[in-house]
Amino acid sequence: MKKDFHPSQLRPLALLLTALFAPTALAQGVASERELAPVSVSGARSPLDPNLPASTFSTTREALQTQSFLNSEDALTYAPSTTVRKRFIGDRNSNLGGRSFGTTQPARGLAYVDGYLISNFLGRFDAPRWSSIAPEEISRVDVLYGPFSAIYPGNSIGTTVAITTRNPTKLEASGGVQYYSQNFDQYGLKGSYKNDQESAFVGNRWGDLALTVTANRLAYESHPMTYTTMVAGAAGTNLGAVNGATLDRDANGNARVVMGASGMQTGVQEQAKFKLAYDFTSTLQADGMYARWRNDYNVKNQTLLRSATTGAEIWKGAGNGFVQVNGVNYQLPTMAPQKGLEEHEQIGGRLRTRHKTGWNYSVQLSSYQVLTNSLRQARVSDPLASGIVTGTDTDGSGTGWRTFELQSTYTPGGNAGHALTFGYHQNNYVLKNQVFNLSNWNNTSTRTTESQNYFGKTEVKALYGQDAWRFRPDWTATFGLRIERFRAYEGSQFDTAAALTPQVIHADRSASGTSPKLSLAHNLNDDWLVRASLGRGIRFPTVSELFQGTRNGTTIYNNDPNMKPEKSDAKELSVIREVGNSNLRISLFEDDIKDAIFQQSQLVGAVTVSTVQNVDRVRTRGIETAFQGTDLLINGLDLQASLTLSNSKTLENSMLPASEGKNWPRVPRVRASALASYRTGLWTGSLGVKHEGRQYNTLDNIDSNPDTYGGVSSFTIANAKLSYSLGKQGSLALGVDNLTDKRYFVAHPYPGRTVFLEGKLSY
């Protein structure tokens, strides 16, 4: 086990601070948090509270165009203390990780687009619905750290992401085409995986009426997401000696035999969105949106085994066959193909007043519905599934969530006074999942019997208030309180394989929580701001953590209908320096969490068993340094950089005492990123570097072999992009992600070197 901080670990921080305090030139466009006020960029204002009592990161459309920006979640690539588990272009499960939580805890992050919630708390690893936002429509992205604002729900105990889309004031149109190619080679399987994406944006304003339309299409292929292993055994038909198997060790150091690549996805995602806004008066506006998203995909597998005598591919056929590798018999597993179809719909509307001072009011409603979610799987391996064979259909149609927000704010007319916010919030999540047997896995109309299901609903109602009181010109105190009421109801499970028959009905339950917030900010002078913040956040368990217990082939998920909410007591001390258009922030932070919710997976024989549980106490302490600046030293040179050193430990865990004193999973000791771009004439080039240090995948840190499938690697990767401007007509670009073709893992393998070409037109 590694020791706590050593002074040598602070050397990179000292060097970075020396560089950041160097003189900088004046320019335009740095998102500022010193004045605690939103910044107007290309017509899009920050949707965050203008009196934020916590640290933020902001980036704009112009900045995003200089980097690799293939999917919407790429906007967070260089955000401080942030990671996104993006396994391939088009990954719907690009989970968010932050200062004190890893990518296996997605419910500690909130994501909004134009104030509409896109956080998906309906599955164990379901990320925010990034795919419901086309990169072409994004104007600005803001990130808020920690549970310090009373305005945001309890899931904000980690990170809150607010995405703002474009709102043109005149006729505006743009579109783009991107082509990507990745060569991937692992365990003897070499492949070239290609993607293409087309997008379009059109918007206009006619007096008081504004309309925008966006469309996006992504055709994607992924490299293997998992690998299939064999276990020793001697039953069924002996297929003889084989070649192609790889003997290596898993993340825990145990010997294993890899015989196939699994989870290779190909598909097409399509998205369309309509936004309307109407100004009834100069201070009263209504707006609404409708979005539709569709994903039609296949999941295939590939055996690596070849007959030692004939060279033919070896798959599991009839019976429980086995093969010989180096004279040892191994059972052949089934590598079943899948076909999926997803159709989602989001509808939202808002009515608000917009007075510069005094009272404003808003009411906002939204609904996100899963219209179709069908995942069919054969009961045989790929080559045998081309005919009429049996299978299963996992149907999640009917799940979704609804939100309602009623808010009033008061803005004082001068530099001093009370800036008030009061509101009521409600969200409802509905989980509905059924598994049916199919007589023909290619046809959903051939359903026979239901083999398992799980249902459930959750509801959170909240009242909140916040007062940002500027009691002196250089002092602001922020007081907040959020009172939440949680209810879980109509939960049930049915599973013939697990003997959960007849339907098991879970008792309804309710709980409540109170989250106080306090912050004090002081402007030392024109360049410096110091802010101290305290906040409690209560994150109630999601509907999937409570009720989604499933069995699927060799995978078992164990839920807990009695899961406790996790409580975060967070502290932050920040120093912010602004000179010209450069911004430097140094933050000391601590996050002390009781009853942390975590899902632990372990391999039991050939079955992966995942169990969600409460961990009594986890504490994370760290220091975060973040810098943003434009036209540094020379015109055209922009830089954003961050360095986070953290120490995240499990302090108490009665469920697994061996984990006490160990590192919290997927929170590295060191996390750093930097993106530099340079504009000269019609050319813009950028180079980005991202680093994450040693991290673990298990609570007791027994995964001693991180750089393999199933492990969690430390890594340093570089991304580059070169763009040529066509003026107002558009641009051309060439980019490379993972320049050095680094092989690294987050249980799943991350992508290798990816080359992309991009062309954009605008009007």
Residue-wise over 83-118: b if at least 16 C-beta within 10 A, else e?
bbbbbbbbbbbbbbbbbbbbbbbbbbbbbbbbbbbb
Give the list of residues 6+ apart from residue 275 with CB closer than 8 angstroms, or none.
Answer: 114, 165, 210, 211, 212, 213, 287, 288, 289
CA distance 634 to 38: 27
State the Cα angle at 759 between 738 and 289, rounded to 5°. Answer: 95
What CATH architecture applies to the domain 7-762?
Beta Barrel (2.40)
- pLDDT given for residue 680 in this prediction: 96
Number of H helices, E strands in the chain: 3, 41
Q: In this predicted model, what pLDDT tens digit does every residue of 684-714 receive, in sequence order?
A: 999 999 999 999 999 999 999 999 999 999 9
CA 733 distance to own-chain centroid: 26
Q: In this predicted model, what pLDDT tens digit does every residue of 606-625 receive, in sequence order?
A: 566 778 899 999 999 999 99
- pLDDT given for residue 239 in this prediction: 86
Q: Taking the model in full, what pTM does it have?
A: 0.90
CA 640 distance to own-chain centroid: 21
CA distance 157 to 597: 12
- pLDDT given for residue 321 in this prediction: 84
CA distance 261 to 225: 8
Which residues of the chain carry a pLDDT beneath 70? 1-50, 124, 235, 318-319, 499, 551-556, 601-608
CA distance 719 to 677: 12
CA distance 227 to 245: 11
Q: In this predicted model, what pLDDT tens digit does every residue of 84-126 receive, in sequence order?
A: 999 999 999 999 999 999 999 989 999 999 999 999 998 767 7
- pLDDT given for residue 222 in this prediction: 97
- What is the full DSSP assignment across 487-523? EEEEEEEEETTTTEEEEEEPPPEEEEEEEEEEEEEEE
CA distance 669 to 696: 11
- pLDDT given for residue 119 in this prediction: 93
How many CA atoms lie within 13 Å of 311's alpha carbon, on the beta-carbon side? 0
CA distance 45 to 744: 38
- pLDDT given for residue 617 in this prediction: 98
- pLDDT given for residue 63 in this prediction: 94
- pLDDT given for residue 22 in this prediction: 34
